[in-house]
Amino acid sequence: AQSVTQLDSHVSVSEGTPVLLRCNYSSSYSPSLFWYVQHPNKGLQLLLKYTSAATLVKGINGFEAEFKKSETSFHLTKPSAHMSDAAEYFCVVILSGGSYIPTFGRGTSLIVHP
Amino acid sequence: DAGITQSPRHKVTETGTPVTLRCHQTENHRYMYWYRQDPGHGLRLIHYSYGVKDTDKGEVSDGYSVSRSKTEDFLLTLESATSSQTSVYFCAISQNMGETQYFGPGTRLLVL
Q: A92, A93, A94, A57: which is closest to A78 by C-alpha?
A: A57
- Percent over 90 (pLDDT), chain A: 73
- Quick check: B52 and B31 in contact, CB under 8 A? no
Within an 8 Å CB–CB cutoff, is residue A32 touching chain B? Answer: yes
Give the minimum alpha-carbon distance from A76 to chain B in angstroms, rounded to a whole number.
Answer: 17
Q: What CA–CA distance (Å, rounded) separates B49 from B62?
A: 16
For A44, which residue in chain B has the nearest alpha carbon?
A: B103
Within an 8 Å CB–CB cutoff, is residue A60 touching chain B? Answer: no
Q: Does B48 sit within 8 Å of A105, measured CB to CB?
A: no
Question: Tell me: the pLDDT tens digits for A47-79?
Answer: 999 987 788 999 999 999 999 988 999 999 999
Contacts 24+ apart (CB under 8 A), B6-12: B6/B89, B6/B90, B6/B91, B6/B104, B6/B105, B6/B106, B6/B107, B7/B107, B8/B107, B9/B105, B9/B106, B9/B107, B9/B108, B10/B107, B10/B108, B11/B107, B11/B108, B11/B109, B11/B110, B12/B110, B12/B112
**Best to test chain B binding among A38, A39, A100, A109 (most B CBs inside 10 Å):** A100
Please tell me which of A2-11, A89-98, B63-72 the model is most confident about, judged by mean pLDDT.
Answer: B63-72
Q: How many CB pairs under 8 A join A and B?
A: 46
